[in-house]
């Protein structure tokens, strides 16, 4: 009798556990569905508010037009200089932030002493928490006069200053996530490499980096995405000139800066208003395409790293 009661109790606990798991799965599904729905609604809103501008200007003239004068008569709605500025700022900041972020992560994970790591890691994470307006203010008040004096330029608010500040913002993200990816590599791989006679540096470059390359790529993707979509920094230190840059020290106006600077002045449902939403739509498509390409690259390196190991 007691055995039967025990079996019945176990069965009830099993059914209760199954019901709990079903509820948890439904909860997770609801959260995922809500996230996808919100993203879809945001994209739909951008397209609904941005598409009407193409009744006044063709898609080709809008994307490849070299002049952005939305308040002139007649207005010019060409965002090509804004696109080039966004790509240039992201590219230059990535050239600065990726090597520094990954190298710092490797140093903290493999070379720094535990005591030094305890001091440096919180400082790096604290840098990631700095508001973008603080970084923009630093670039405008400190860096801009310094660049203007050193390079004898008319203004220190330019592409290089904006790239420098964006790199400063991206390095903590790249460093922190890359370090976590390196720490997630099984210790057996490192020990096996050292046991076979490899040096510490050979183990880092031939074992740890290939094994963690997927996580490092994810960190780089997030850092570059932040640079691509950052608004306040480029609004404050990029110079605000809607022109195609000829050098690193020319003032530029990326797409997020143009949207932030002009949206409050554009009359509701005017051509200028629609053009700004169309610019946001192009920025959204650029970011989406960038993330898709970066995800493909990350998967490719993940396969290469697995094959190497």
Final residue before a domain boundary, out of 32, 55, 78: 55
User: Residue 302: which pLDDT band, with cuts at 50, 70 and 90?
Assistant: low
Query: Distance from first CA to last CA of the chain, Å, rounded?
Result: 57
Q: Which residue has the higher pLDDT, 204 or 306?
A: 204
The answer to whether residues 46 and 65 belong to one domain is no
The answer to whether residues 50 and 73 belong to one domain is no
Distance of CA 99 to the CA centre of its chain: 16
Q: Using alpha carbons, select from 169, 284, 160, 281 the residue that is nearest to residue 224.
A: 169
Residue 225 makes CB contacts below 8 A (sequence gap 6+) with 287, 290, 291
The answer to whether residues 45 and 103 belong to one domain is no
Q: Quick one: angle between helices 80-106 and 159-183, nearest 10?
A: 40
The answer to whether residues 26 and 170 belong to one domain is no
pTM over 0.85: no
Is 303 a residue whose pLDDT tops 60?
A: no
Final residue before a domain boundary, out of 39, 55, 71: 55
Could you list the residue range(s) of the whole structural domain that residue 30 is in?
2-55
Whole-angstrom Cα distance, residue 43 to residue 127? 31
pLDDT average, residue stretch 99-120: 87
The answer to whether residues 20 and 80 belong to one domain is no
User: Residue 22: which pLDDT band, with cuts at 50, 70 and 90?
Assistant: confident
What is the tens place of the pLDDT at every residue in 214-232?
Answer: 788 888 888 888 888 888 8
Highest mean pLDDT among 129-143, 187-201, 289-303: 129-143
What is the tens place of the pLDDT at every residue in 113-137?
Answer: 888 888 888 888 888 788 888 999 9
The answer to whether residues 43 and 167 belong to one domain is no
The answer to whether residues 50 and 119 belong to one domain is no
Whole-angstrom Cα distance, residue 232 to residue 110? 35
The answer to whether residues 178 and 290 belong to one domain is yes
The answer to whether residues 30 and 153 belong to one domain is no
What was the pLDDT predicted at 264? 83
The answer to whether residues 128 and 146 belong to one domain is yes
What was the pLDDT predicted at 114? 82
Is 92 a residue whose pLDDT tops 90?
A: yes
Q: Which residue has the higher pLDDT, 103 or 222?
A: 103
The answer to whether residues 20 and 77 belong to one domain is no
Whole-angstrom Cα distance, residue 303 to residue 309? 10
CATH number at residue 86: 1.10.3720.10
The answer to whether residues 23 and 76 belong to one domain is no
pLDDT average, residue stretch 275-296: 84
Tally of domains in the chain: 2
């Amino acid at each position: 009798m007691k055995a039967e009661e025990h079996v019945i109790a176990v069965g009830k606990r099993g059914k209760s556990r199954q019901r709990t798991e079903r509820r948890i799965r439904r909860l997770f599904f609801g959260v995922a569905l809500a996230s996808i729905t919100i993203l879809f609604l945001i994209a739909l809103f951008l397209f609904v508010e941005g598409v009407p501008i193409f009744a006044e200007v063709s898609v080709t003239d809008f994307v490849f037009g070299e002049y952005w004068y939305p308040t002139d008569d007649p207005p010019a709605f060409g965002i090509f200089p804004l696109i080039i500025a966004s790509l240039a700022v992201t590219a230059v900041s990535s050239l600065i932030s990726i090597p520094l972020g990954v190298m710092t992560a490797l140093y903290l994970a493999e070379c720094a002493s535990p005591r030094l790591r305890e001091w440096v890691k919180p400082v790096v994470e604290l840098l990631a928490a700095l508001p973008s307006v603080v970084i923009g203010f630093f670039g405008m008040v400190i860096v801009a006069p310094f660049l203007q004096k050193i390079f004898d330029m008319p203004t220190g608010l330019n592409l290089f200053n904006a790239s420098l500040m964006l790199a400063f913002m991206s390095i903590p993200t790249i460093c922190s996530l890359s370090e976590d990816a390196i720490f997630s590599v099984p210790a057996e791989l490192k020990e096996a490499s050292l046991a076979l006679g490899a040096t510490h540096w050979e183990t880092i470059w031939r074992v740890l980096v290939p094994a963690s390359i997927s996580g490092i790529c994810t960190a780089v993707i997030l850092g570059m995405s932040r640079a691509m979509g950052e608004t306040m920094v480029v609004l404050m230190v990029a110079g605000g000139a809607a022109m195609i840059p000829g050098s690193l020290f020319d003032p530029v106006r990326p797409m997020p800066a143009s949207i932030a600077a002009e949206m409050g002045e554009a009359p509701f449902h005017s051509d200028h208003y629609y053009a700004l939403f169309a610019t946001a739509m192009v920025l959204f498509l650029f970011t989406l395409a960038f993330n898709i390409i970066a995800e493909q690259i990350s998967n490719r390196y993940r396969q290469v790293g697995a094959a190497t190991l």
